[in-house]
Amino acid sequence: MTEKFEPRITAQKQAVLKSFQGQTLTDAQTDIAMNLASIINRHIHKTGSFREPLTDYAHAFARSEKFDAMKGETIIRDVFAAQFGRTMNATREALMVREQNLPESTPELALQSARKTLEAISTGETEAFYKAYDREGAALARSLSITENAAKVLMSVNYHAVEGRELYATGKELEEKYHRPRMDELRKSRKSTHSRSVVRA
């Protein structure tokens, strides 16, 4: 006996299906629109803007459907509001308001995030500056409810204020000293392993 596959409908999807535009969409269109709304939500939390991504994704969505880009944008906006409980602009504005009203602990939190970034580059498995910086910036942004770009600025400014050095320059120096040698070693090891497997074949 084969079981019928019943996709689980989340609370977010239920809200979308009840929305004005959501009631007109097929199941596939609903899923695509929700995924696009999630991508745009991520853009907003990263950069604090949504205009360009919305335009680009609305055009891409419309190209595969029987409606124009303007309709695609309207659908994505409506789905976004239903999915996340507020409009794109309201989401953006909430982040901007938080950036203007940061708690007193912000400088210390930003400095800690900057130091965690440098520690990740120089200890353990090590990693590239851009990855450590991005991860710690995202974590700080979540804790303060601000954009990731703003969090990274806070990290750089507060690190410079205390250490008298640029976070980027310090991170790149550590990357050259610790991470690059490790990656070079891994590449050599990989080439050696690949060469042995080719010879055996």
pTM of the entire predicted model: 0.85
| Alpha carbons 106 and 150: distance in angstroms, whole number | 12
By mean pLDDT, which of 2-6, 14-18, 133-137, 156-160 is the weakest? 2-6
The pLDDT value given to residue 197? 57
- Cα torsion angle, 22, 23, 26, 31, sign: positive
pLDDT tens for each residue of 159-197: 999 999 999 999 999 999 999 998 988 888 787 675 555
| Contact assessment for residue 73 and residue 55, using Cβ atoms and an 8 Å cutoff | yes
DSSP classification of residue 6: -
Q: Where are the alpha helices (DSSP H) in the chain?
A: 11-18, 27-47, 51-63, 69-84, 88-100, 106-122, 129-144, 148-163, 167-174, 180-200
Query: What's residue 186's pLDDT?
Result: 82
Cα gap 168→102, rounded to integer Å: 23
User: What is d(CA 192, CA 115) in angstroms, rounded to the nearest whole number?
Assistant: 36
